[in-house]
Structure 1
Amino acid sequence: MAVLNPINNWQLHCARRTILHGGVIAYPTEAVWGLGCDPWNLEAVMGILDLKNRPMEKGMILVAASVEQIRFLLDPLPETLQLEARSHWPGPVTCLLPDVNRQIPEWVRGSHSSIAVRVSEHPVVKALCESADMPLVSTSCNPAGREPARNALQVRRYFNNQLDWIVPGALGGNRKPSRIIDIVSGKQLR
């Protein structure tokens, strides 16, 4: 696994402020660079969709620092599904959770009744979610049809000055993006 540089307080403060003011950030994750924002801020999410040329219907992933940050999504589920999801976290596994009470806006959920959620152990992702005190949108940092960015230079090449903040740090060392598992059916989708 690559050595992960912890985010310094000033960088974390700037990223947090950007998120809370409706901005879009780029940041390293377990395998690729991601784009993120406040999932409850329509303008921020639309900004990401525009940057990526991605249709809203596809939906996006939420990342969290801990199970507690997404407890509101787990609590309405049967205990067996909660345990199944928790068995994969923290780690590079994204679970599709039924959004029983429709707590996640449709601009993040897309045309789905479930929401894709990952509780990350990547130190930068964890620090960002803890600092913002919420799960964040996480989608690969690339325009549609292009390979996801694997370093900050590629992030800049793709989006130049269109991002509000680029969080420095290293990727986690995974070669592929997170697996996606539907916890209801048990099927692995990626």
Structure 2
Amino acid sequence: MLITKIYQPNEVKIAAKELKLGELIAFPTETVYGLGADATNEQAVKRVYLAKGRPSDNPLIVTVASEKMITKYTGPLSSKARKVIAKFWPGSLTLVFDIKPGSLPNAVTGGLTTAAFRCPANNVTRKLIELAGVPIVGPSANSSGKPSPTTAQHVFHDLEGRIAGIVDDGPTQVGVESTILDLSTEKPTILRPGGVDVTEIEDVLGEKVISDKHTVKNSEIPKAPGMKYRHYAPDAKVLIVRPNQWQSVFEWTEKQKDPIGVMATSDILASYKKNEYSYDLGKDVVMASRRLFAGLRYFDEMNEVKTILVAEFPEDGLGMAYMNRLKKAASNQYFE
């Protein structure tokens, strides 16, 4: 079995050498941990799909260290692209562009004529890419369909023995993946809500952005991750709890023979008696977004927990990204 090494930030030179040799290296970003391979090496990219158990028609995000790195694949960028890059890169915004034919392997693009690019707000990872000298693919570093990893330990749990190494830069700060903005279409379109709010993008572009195209049909190839397959789900059943339901929830959990996992804000949990099966999401949606995946993973480790109840937040700002992930984890099921 492959030995998965843990690299500290000062060891990125060694990790970059592994990437250049075609190995898989997990890396930190401000959102979640990604699984890296040389994006120009088709065989290495195919191993990413195998390591994750990911469907091969689900395209991969290309992670870069700078704007300059992407023009080799896209050609000159539009004024719209330069505006959003100037404002949001490095950061939690992924951009979809038309690319030059044959410039990236089909294993990266899913056979599409577009590709998604992101420059993360993590100095360690940008240094890793610079030292490798190539862009790297960057899907979340977890088993496909499971909650995304927000620590190196989460990655090790899922992918030990399947990847060469993990660069450990501590817990991530945002906790939900990047916003994906499609700039290959006439109208800028959000394909996945995330760390950057649609209103921020509209302010920069000075125009309306389409923001309701988050899924595709089974017969379609998605342009971006998270649009087609079940995502972010633990083994236990997940149910969403509306703000006015918590008293009913607590009364219901008291009557259950099996323990029920409860993920809610600090103020709600203050009145919950069964604290041994609770997970604190913090005081607001910012903290809840950071802790959502970690909480789902926390209960995934408890075989006795078959049901997890998770707090709903209003679907605006970062709440749109939080609820997008939670609804996928819960298959859109609410506590009734």
Letter aligned with residue 80 of structure 1: S
User: RMSD of the TM alignment (CA)?
Assistant: 1.8
* Counterparts of residues 37-56 of structure 1 (less than 5 Å): 37-56=37-56
Of residues 51-60 and 80-89 in structure 1, the stretch that sits farther from structure 2 once superposed is: 80-89
* 1:97 matched to 2:97: yes
Tell me if the contact between 1:91 and 1:119 (Cα under 8 Å) persists in the aligned partners.
Answer: yes
* Counterparts of residues 109-120 of structure 1 (less than 5 Å): 109-120=109-120
Deviations 1:102-132 (A, max 9, x none): 3111110113221000122211221111111
- 1:153 Cα deviation (Å)? 1.6
* Counterparts of residues 1-190 of structure 1 (less than 5 Å): 7-8=9-10, 11-77=11-77, 79-87=78-86, 88-183=88-183, 184=185, 185-190=187-192
Q: Secondary structure at the match of 2:63?
A: strand
Letter aligned with residue 188 of structure 1: I
- Work out the CA distance in 1 between the residues paired with 2:132 and 2:93: 22
- Work out the CA distance in 2 between the residues paired with 1:170 and 1:69: 26
Consecutive unaligned residues in structure 2, runs of 5 or more: 1-7, 193-336
Q: Secondary structure at the match of 2:39?
A: coil
- Work out the CA distance in 2 between the residues paired with 1:45 and 1:64: 15
- Work out the CA distance in 2 between the residues paired with 1:170 and 1:146: 20
Of residues 67-76 and 95-104 in structure 1, the stretch that sits farther from structure 2 once superposed is: 67-76
Q: Secondary structure at the match of 1:115?
A: strand
Give the greater-gyration-radius structure (CA): 2
- 1:178 Cα deviation (Å)? 0.2
Deviations 1:61-102 (A, max 9, x none): 01111111112134245x335425524322110000111433
Letter aligned with residue 144 of structure 2: A
- Work out the CA distance in 2 between the residues paired with 1:7 and 1:116: 26
Please give the TM-score of this superposition, normalised by the length of structure 2. 0.51
Q: Secondary structure at the match of 1:143?
A: coil
4+ aligned runs moved over 6 Å, structure 1: none
Tell me if the contact between 1:65 and 1:121 (Cα under 8 Å) persists in the aligned partners.
Answer: no
Tell me if the contact between 1:74 and 1:82 (Cα under 8 Å) persists in the aligned partners.
Answer: no
- Work out the CA distance in 1 between the residues paired with 2:13 and 2:46: 23
Letter aligned with residue 62 of structure 1: V
Q: Which of the pair has the greater relative contact order for Cα pairs under 8 Å at 6+ separation?
A: 1
Consecutive unaligned residues in structure 1, runs of 5 or more: 1-5
- Work out the CA distance in 2 between the residues paired with 1:34 and 1:28: 6
- Work out the CA distance in 2 between the residues paired with 1:153 and 1:90: 25
Evaluate the alpha carbon distance shift between residue 172 and residue 144 of structure 1 in structure 2; reply closer, same or farther with a 3 A threshold.
closer
- Aligned-pair identity in percent equals 29
Please give the TM-score of this superposition, normalised by the length of structure 1. 0.88
